[in-house]
Amino acid sequence: MQYNLSQFYIGGSWTDPHGTGSVDVVNPATEQPIGSLVLGNDADIDAAVSAARAALPGFSATNREKRIALLERVLDVYIDRVDDFAQAISLEMGAPINMSREMQAQVGIDHLEAIIADLKTIDFEERLTNGDTLVRMPVGVCGLITPWNWPINQIVLKVGPALAAGCTMVLKPSELTPLSAILYAEVLHEAGVPAGVFNLVHGEGPVVGAALSRHPDVAMMSFTGSTRGGVAVTRDAAETVKKVALELGGKSPNLIFADCDLETAVTEGIEACFINTGQSCDAATRMLVERSVYDRAVELAQEQCEQMTVGNPAEPGDHLGPLSSAQQYTRVQEMIEAGIAEGAQLVAGGPGKPEGFETGYYARPTIFADVNNAMRIAQQEIFGPVLVMIPFDNEAEAIAIANDTPYGLSAYVQTGDSDRAARVARALHSGMVNVNGAFLGAGSPFGGIKTSGVGREGGREGILEYLETKVIAAP
C-alpha cells in the first residue's frame, strides 16, 4: 500500500508543506525505514488553522441529524478499510497482526459506534429548573495531538467527538506512526467531511505541536501522551487561555486479594500489563498481592511470563511484538537495569533482547518481585513489558500502596468479596477501576486524575469536552 508521506491534508485536499525537514518512519521489527515523512512548521499550522476557522461557521451550524449521518458514513468507510488500518499499525509501531486486527484497528469501529449512539442522547438545549435556557455549543477550532502507542484509538477518540460536537480541527499525530493518520484522512475525505473541517499536519511536538497549542485561533487543545508533553501543551496554551484536555501517563495498581481465584487473577494481570508490549498508559504494571498468597502468585507469574513469546508482528499468533522505537527500547532497558540495581528480585526476563532477535526493538518480558514503592520501577512509567510485584498485609495497606503514586489513571481489583470490591474500588485514587477481569467498554469515559490528566475521552463525556455551555435568561 502507498502512503502519502510528502503532503498534508488541509482544506479538503492534499497540499505541499511549507516545512522542508523530514524524518524516517521506521519499522520497529526490522529497524528499516518504511519511507521519509515530511515535517511541517509554523506556516503549515497557520494554513491548517485558517482552513479550520473558515469551515467553522458552516459546520458548527449543522444539526444533530446531519452530524449523525456524517459519522455513520465515516464508520461505513472505515469498516470497509479496517484491514488497511491493521496492516498499517502493525507496520508502523510493531503491533502483532492478530492483535492489530482484533484490538488496534477494531477500536476505531467500537468507539465511533458508541459516539454515534451517545450523540443521539445529548440535549443541546434544555430548560433549567429556574426557567433559564442552557445551550451547548461547539467550542470552535480544536488542536488534536495523538500518540504512537494506540494510534487510531486516540485519533478516533478525538476526531469523532469533535465532529459530533460541530467543531473543526487540526490533527498532529505522532511522527512515529503517521500511516494510520494518513489513512484516516482518506476515510474522512471519502465519507464527505466538508473541506476544512478536518486537517492533518505532521511534525515534531516542540515545533508543530507548540505552534498549534499557542495559536490564537485554536479554542481547545486535546493532547494524549506523556505527562511531560501534557505540561508543555498546557504552558503553550496558557497565553491564549484556551481549553485543554489531557490524557497522560499511568502506573496502574492491580490489587489481588487472597479470596480471589489466584491463578486467573495472576494470568489476567500479566496480560493486562503486557498487552501491546506493555505500551499502554492504563497497563496494570504494579501487581499488589496479599502476603498470604504472595509467594504462590510470584511462582504463577514466573510460569506465565516464561511461556510468553515475542515474534515478528507480520506473522499471526498471540506473541508480543517489538517496542515501537530505538528510543523506547533504550528507556525500557534503563529501567530494567535500575530495578536490578535497586535490589528488586528478577523473577523472569531481564536486560537485553530475546534469543534470536538481534534485529528489531524486541525486549524480554520481565517480572520483578519484592519491590517496594520507593523504587523507581514502582513509581515511574516504564512503557514496556515489565511487571513489578509488591506484597501487602491488609486492605488498608493495599489501598495506601496503590494510591502512593503521582499518577491516577486506572486501577484493577481482584477479590471474591463483592462488598470489598465496591469498597476498594471507591477508595482508589484513579479515573477508572476494573474489577475481577472486567474492563470498561467503548462509550465509557476514559481518563484520569492527578498527573494522569484532565478531562475524559469516549462516548457522551468525550463529546461534552468539545462543547461550551451558554445560559440564556429571557422573560
**What CA–CA distance (Å, rounded) separates 147 from 173?**
6
Q: Which residue has the cell 489481588?
A: 256
60-68 contacts at long range (C-beta below 8 A, 24 or more positions apart): 60/137, 60/138, 60/140, 60/166, 60/167, 60/168, 61/166, 62/166, 64/119, 64/120, 64/122, 64/124, 67/119, 67/163, 67/164, 67/166, 68/116, 68/119, 68/120
Q: Rounded to whole angstroms, what are the CA distances from 248 to 226, 229, 414?
A: 5, 8, 25
Distance, C-alpha 245 to centroid of its chain: 13
Residues sharing a CB contact under 8 Å with residue 306, sequence separation 6 or more, in sequence order = 348
Residue 267, number of CB atoms within 10 A of its CB: 17
Sheet containing strand 198-200, strands side by side: 13-15, 8-10, 198-200, 168-172, 141-145, 220-224, 243-247, 453-454
CB 71 within 8 A of CB 156: no
DSSP-derived 3-state class of residue 147: coil
Which residue, among 198, 191, 171, has the nearest Cα to 12 in the 3D structure? Answer: 198
**Grid coordinates belonging to 254:** 492491580
The angle formed by the CA atoms of residues 250, 251 and 254, to the nearest 5 degrees, is 125
Buried b (16+ CB within 10 A) or exposed e, 352-379: ebbeebeebbbbbbbbbbbbebebebbe
Catalytic residues: 247, 281
Q: Residue length, the chain?
A: 475
**Secondary structure of 207-227 as H, E, C letters:** HHHHHHHHCCCCCEEEEECCH
Which residue, among 287, 266, 247, 248, has the nearest Cα to 373 in the 3D structure? Answer: 287
